[in-house]
Structure 1
Amino acid sequence: MAESTLIRDRYELLEQIGRGGMGEVWRARDLALDRRVAVKCLKPLGNHHEEPVLKGLRERFRREARVAAGLQHRGITVVHDFGEDDGVLFLVMELLEGRNLSEVLAARDREPLPEPDIADIAAQVAAALDHTHRQGIIHRDLKPANVMLLDDGSVKICDFGIARLARDIGLATKLTTTGMAMGTPHYMSPEQISGTPADRRSDLYSLGCVLYELASGAPPFDLGDPWAILVGHRDTPPEPLRDRRPELSAALEELVLGLLAKDPEERPTDVAQRTRRLALAAARHTGARPLPGRLGAAAGTGAHGKPPASVPRLPPLPSPPAGTPDGGTPDGGATALPPWAHGMRAGTPVRAARRPPAPALADGLVGPWSAVTVATGGHPSPPGGVPEGGATLAERHSAGVDLGRAGRWEEALTAHRATLAEREAALGPEHPETLASRHEAAACLGRLGRWEEALAGHRRVTEARARQLGPAHPATLDSRHQSAVALGRLGRAAEALEVYRALAVARAHAGGEGHAETLRARHGLGVSLGRLGRWEEALTEAREVWALRCRTLGDEHPDTLVSRREIAVALGWLGRWEEALGEYRPVRESRERVLGAAHPAAGTSRNDEAHCLEQLDRHAEAAELHRVSAALGGGPH
C-alpha cells in the first residue's frame, strides 16, 4: 500500500483485519457517506507484466468487480465500489462482523459442527448460490475461507470472481506441469481438475466439500500432498460421513455424497429446496435451535463455542419468603403463574423503586446507561461515599458510554477498563460504581463478539450485585438478562431459556405482565424456544408478546415490530410461508414509513420479505426488493 491511509480521497484505512496471498483487508471509513466499510486491496500489479497484459487485467478486474457489485442477495457480500489507487486494485465492501468457516473450525480445534448448524449453513449458502446461478454467475472458488458466519448467525459468500482473478494476476498461482492453476485443491471439482469448463455444478461440488468438512472436521480428501488430493477428487469415492459420525442423519449424508458425485450430471439439481427441508427437519428432530439468521431467523447467537471452566454459575432464583405460597403475591394471596412461567418458582417480590426500562434493541441487548446512578439501579454509595476524583471517574464512565453509543466499541472498552481499574482500587471490587464499570466493559465485549468474556463479566457482576443489592434488585436482573443474551450468542439456548424464564417471573412480580422489562424477558424466552427448535411454542410466545406490546407501546413501536418479525420467523420455520409473508410485509411497510426507506432496519425487513417471496417462488417480486435495497445503498450495514 501507499504511505497514505486515504484511498481516492474518500476511504480512510483504519485497521488491517486480514492478510493473505491476495493482499490485505482493511477496516475503513467511507468519508463521503460516513459509514464503516471493508476495503480489500489486491497486491500491486508488478512490473513483470507487459503493459498490454496489465491493461487486460485492469479491464478484467473492472468486469469482475461490476459482476460482484451487481449481486444483491442477503447471502452475498455487498460490493459498494472498486478502482485502482497507485497501482493497487481495491474493492470496497460491506464490513462483516464475524468469522469465516475456516476460522470457526479452527476455534473449535477442528471439532465438527452440530447437524442443525451444518444444515443451516447449507441452506443459506445454497440459497445464495441458487440466486447467482439463476443469473448465470458461477463462483468457482467456494471454500470455507470464502464463507462468512456473521455474529448474528447469518451467512454470506465472499469473493465472487475475485480470487480467480487474483490467481490470474499472479498473486497466488501454483501451476501443474500442464499449466493448470491448482487454486485450492481441497475444494476443486473433478471437472476443474481435468481442465474442462466449470458451471454451476462445480459450485455444488465445492459446497459438498465444505459441508463434508463441517460435518467431519476435515475435507473429504485430506491427504496432505496436493497431487494425492487431486487424484482423490477425480477417482476416489469419499468415505461416508456416518462412518465417521454415526449420529448424523441419513438425509444429510445423502445430500453431501450426492453433491460430491464425480459426474456433474449425477449431482442434485434441487439443492436449495433440499437444504431448506434438511434445516427444518434438523431443528425439529434433534431438539436443537438452529443458528440465528437461519432461513431469516432473528439474530441472537453466534458460532458455537466452549464455555471456559472458570465461568461461575448464576445464583438460583430466590425462594419465596417463609409462609408465602409458591407463586404468591406479597400479601400471601395465591396467583396462578402464566403459561410462560410453567415449572418455575416465583421469586421474591421486588419492593425496591423501579427505574425506567432500558431501551430494548432488536437483538435483545440492553443499551449502556449514561449515568452511574442508573447503571447501579439508583443504589446509594456505601459509607465513605465516592473517593476524591470520583466526579472525574463518573465523567470518564459517561464518556465511555458515549463512545459505545457512537459504535466505537474498542475505544469504549478501553475507557471502561481503565475506569474499572481505578474504581476497583479506590472503592473495592463490589462497590456499585465498580460493578457499573464492569457491567459496561462486559457489554462492550459482547458488542465486539467476544461473548465468552462477556458472559464471564456479566455473571461476575450478577453475583456481586445479588450480594450487595439483592437478587431481585433491578440492577441485578439487568446483569442477569445480559448473561442470558451472552448464552444465546454462544449457542447455549437451553441455559438461556431458563434464565429468561426466571427473569420473566421476577419482572412480572415487580412491574406486572405488561411491563416493558417483563416483555423484554419474554421476548428472549421466545427466541430461545425457537433456537431449540420448539417453533410452535415460540410462535405462541411471540404472538402474546406482540399483542401486549401493541397495547402498551403501539402498533409501530420498534419493539412491537421486533415481536411481529418473530412471529414471521416462527411461521417460516413451520413452513407456513404465506402467513409469514403476511407478517413480514407490514413490518417492512411500518419501518419504511416510520424510519425511512434507507434506514438499516427497513433494509433488513426488505431482505426478510424478499427471502420469504423466494420460498414461494415469487422471484420477480423478490428481485425488485433487492433492487430497491441496492439503490438505497445495499441494505443494512
Structure 2
Amino acid sequence: MKQMKVLSDLLIAVSKAERQEARMRIRQESFRLGNVGVMRAGTIISEIWEDGQAIKDLNSHLKSLLETKETIERHRKSLKKRQSDKLYIFMAIYFLHSFFFLEKMSFCLDKGDGSDAETSMSEEDIVLQDEICKSRLTSIKREEEQYMRERDRYELEKGRLIREMKRLRDEDGSRFNNFQILHHRYALLNLLGKGGFSEVYKAFDLVEYKYVACKLHGLNAQWSEEKKQSYIRHAIREYNIHKTLVHPNIVRLWDIFEIDHNTFCTVLEYCSGKDLDAVLKATPILPEKEARIIIVQIFQGLVYLNKRGQKIIHYDLKPGNVLFDEVGVAKVTDFGLSKIVEDDVGSQGMELTSQGAGTYWYLPPECFDLSKTPFISSKVDVWSAGVMFYQMLYGRRPFGHDQTQERILREDTIINARRVEFPSKPAVSNEAKDLIRRCLTYNQSERPDVLTITQDHYLSYAKK
C-alpha cells in the first residue's frame, strides 16, 4: 500500500509539471498565433479570435506585396499608354509631313507627370522597363506563394492551439481534475479529451503498472430514470462486445465499474499517439505509402471482427475512431454503434434498427434508404474504410465534404453518391484508385464484403 502511495505521488508530481508546461506553452503560442477575445454587443457576449503577432506580421507582408504589385501594374499601364501615344504621334507626323517643316519640332510623348527622362524614352527603353516590371511581378508571386504556404502552416498550428486551449478549459472544468484514484487502482492524471457525455483521462493502473485510458461516462442528472437506464444498457452492451476483442489493430477494453449513481468508467488500452482525425488536421494529405499502411491495418482489424464466431459490424468507422500507439500501430476503437451479426442472418445481412445514428460522411447509401428497413453487413465498414482512404490521399471526403450532417440528410448527398471522382492532383496509383472504387461501389449487392476486399493485392505486403 505504501509503495502504491509513493508511486501515485510521483505520477501526480509529473502530471502537475506537465499541466504547468502545457499552460506556459499556450501563453507563448497565444502571443505568436492568437487568442480568444470577448466581444460585447449590447447584452450579448460572444467569443472572437484575435490574431497573434506572427499572423499579423505575415498579413502585413502580404498587404505590402499587394500594394507593390498594384503600383507595378499601374506603371506597366502607363508604359503601354506611352507606347500607344508614341505610335499615334508618329502616324500623325507621317500624314502631316508634306504640309509642315518638322525638323525642329519637339513632341511630348507622355501626358503623365511631364518628366523629361520619361518623355524621351525610346521604344527599347519602354520594352526594357516592361520586362523589369514582369520580372518583379514574377518575384512577387513567388514571395506571395511562400507567405501563403507559411499562412497555411500557421492555420494548422492555430488549429492545434485552439484544440489544446479547449482541452485545458475542459480539464479546468472537470470534476475529475484533482488526481483521484478510481476503483482503488486507477490514478487519474491529465485529460486527453472530452466528448458529448464522456471525458477521457490518461491514467495509471497501480496494480498492473501500466498506463491506461479511463473513459468517464456522465449521465445527465436531469435525465429521466428511463433514459439513464437506456444509456447504461447501451454502454454495457458496448462493453460486452468490446471486452472479448483481442487483436493488435483493435484497442483493448480492460475494465468497467461504477463511480457513483450518475457516472461509470470504462478502462481502455492507452494509445500515446494521435488519432487519425488529428493526424489529418495537421497533415490533410498523406503520402500514399503512409495512407496504405494505415488502411491495411484498419482492414486487418476488420478481418478479425469478421472471422470470429460472432461477427461484428463496427458501423462507426471514421478518423476519430482510429488511434495510434507509440510506434505508430493503428487501432480501431469505439464500438458504441457496433452490431453483432447473429448466426441465422442470411446473405442479405441484418436489419438496421438504429437508422440515423453514425457519422454520415462515412456511411453508405443503403443506410439512408427511408423507404424500407435496410439490411446491412460488413459492407458498411468497407464503404467507411474507402471514404477514409480517399480522405487520407486527397485531403477531403469524396462526398459531402463541406456539408453539415443535416445538409447531407436534407440533400440526399450520399443517396446520390453513385460515382466517385478523383482529382488530378496529388498523383495516386491506379491500384489505390481501383481499391477505392471497389469500396465505394454504390450498389450494396455488388460491393465486396470485408473478407473479399482484403484479398486485393494492394492490401497485402506479402512478396509475390
TM-score when normalising by structure 1? 0.39
Aligned to 1:266: 446
Aligned to 2:245: 71
Shift in Å at residue 197 of structure 1? 4.0
Q: How does 1:101-500 map to 2 (within 5 A)?
A: 101-108=276-283, 110=284, 112-135=285-308, 136-161=311-336, 181-194=356-369, 196-221=374-399, 222-230=401-409, 231-241=412-422, 243-245=423-425, 247-269=427-449, 270-274=452-456, 277-279=457-459
Q: Is 1:240–1:257's contact at 8 Å kept on the other side of the alignment?
A: no
Cα distance in 2, alignment partners of residues 262 and 239 from structure 1: 9
Local SS of the residue matching 1:264: coil
Amino acid at match of 2:291: I
Q: Is 1:15–1:27's contact at 8 Å kept on the other side of the alignment?
A: yes
Can you list the C-alpha shifts for 1:450-489, whole angstroms capped at 9, x where unaligned? xxxxxxxxxxxxxxxxxxxxxxxxxxxxxxxxxxxxxxxx
Cα distance in 2, alignment partners of residues 59 and 228 from structure 1: 31
Q: Is 1:223–1:229's contact at 8 Å kept on the other side of the alignment?
A: no
Local SS of the residue matching 2:445: helix
Aligned to 2:154: none
Are positions 1:6 and 2:181 aligned together? yes
Q: Is 2:394–2:426's contact at 8 Å kept on the other side of the alignment?
A: no
Can you list the C-alpha shifts for 1:11-39, whole angstroms capped at 9, x where unaligned? 11111111222421101011222221111
The counterpart of 1:93, out of the listed 268, 280, 298, is 268
CA 1:22–1:141 in 2, change beyond 3 Å: closer, same or farther?
Answer: farther
Amino acid at match of 1:189: P
Are positions 1:47 and 2:228 aligned together? no
User: Which has a greater percent of helix?
Assistant: 1
Higher Rg of the two aligned structures: 2
Cα distance in 2, alignment partners of residues 218 and 8 from structure 1: 43
CA 1:204–1:163 in 2, change beyond 3 Å: closer, same or farther?
Answer: closer
Amino acid at match of 2:205: D
Shift in Å at residue 271 of structure 1? 1.9
Q: Once superposed, what is the RMSD of the aligned Cα atoms?
A: 2.5
Amino acid at match of 2:444: P
Amino acid at match of 2:421: P
Q: Is 2:435–2:458's contact at 8 Å kept on the other side of the alignment?
A: no
Say which is worse superposed, 211-220 or 183-192, in terms of deviation: 183-192
Q: Is 1:72–1:78's contact at 8 Å kept on the other side of the alignment?
A: yes
Cα distance in 2, alignment partners of residues 244 and 151 from structure 1: 34
CA 1:235–1:69 in 2, change beyond 3 Å: closer, same or farther?
Answer: same
Q: Is 1:216–1:244's contact at 8 Å kept on the other side of the alignment?
A: no
Q: Is 1:139–1:203's contact at 8 Å kept on the other side of the alignment?
A: yes
Shift in Å at residue 238 of structure 1? 4.3
CA 1:42–1:258 in 2, change beyond 3 Å: closer, same or farther?
Answer: same
CA 1:40–1:47 in 2, change beyond 3 Å: closer, same or farther?
Answer: same
User: Which has a greater percent of strand?
Assistant: 2
Shift in Å at residue 92 of structure 1? 0.4
Q: How does 1:534-545 map to 2 (within 5 A)?
A: none
Local SS of the residue matching 2:268: strand
Q: Is 2:355–2:367's contact at 8 Å kept on the other side of the alignment?
A: no
CA 1:46–1:254 in 2, change beyond 3 Å: closer, same or farther?
Answer: farther
Can you list the C-alpha shifts for 1:482-503, whole angstroms capped at 9, x where unaligned? xxxxxxxxxxxxxxxxxxxxxx
Q: Is 1:22–1:163's contact at 8 Å kept on the other side of the alignment?
A: no
Shift in Å at residue 574 of structure 1? 2.8
Cα distance in 1, alignment partners of residues 337 and 221 from structure 2: 18
Amino acid at match of 1:206: S
- Paired positions, count: 265
Aligned to 1:60: 234
Cα distance in 1, alignment partners of residues 363 and 458 from structure 2: 24
Amino acid at match of 1:247: A
Local SS of the residue matching 1:93: strand
Q: Is 2:192–2:200's contact at 8 Å kept on the other side of the alignment?
A: yes
Cα distance in 1, alignment partners of residues 293 and 396 from structure 2: 19
Shift in Å at residue 245 of structure 1? 3.0
Q: Is 1:65–1:162's contact at 8 Å kept on the other side of the alignment?
A: no
Q: Is 2:363–2:384's contact at 8 Å kept on the other side of the alignment?
A: yes
Aligned to 1:34: 209
Shift in Å at residue 246 of structure 1? 6.0
Cα distance in 1, alignment partners of residues 424 and 215 from structure 2: 38
Cα distance in 1, alignment partners of residues 430 and 276 from structure 2: 23
Local SS of the residue matching 2:385: helix
Local SS of the residue matching 2:256: strand
Local SS of the residue matching 1:234: coil
Q: Is 1:25–1:41's contact at 8 Å kept on the other side of the alignment?
A: yes
CA 1:279–1:201 in 2, change beyond 3 Å: closer, same or farther?
Answer: closer
Can you list the C-alpha shifts for 1:45-70, whole angstroms capped at 9, x where unaligned? 4332234x433432332222021010
Local SS of the residue matching 2:455: helix
Shift in Å at residue 9 of structure 1? 2.2
Q: Kindly report structure 1 stretches of 4+ aligned residues shifted beyond 4 Å.
A: 1-4
Q: Is 2:254–2:268's contact at 8 Å kept on the other side of the alignment?
A: yes
Cα distance in 2, alignment partners of residues 236 and 139 from structure 1: 22
Amino acid at match of 2:233: E
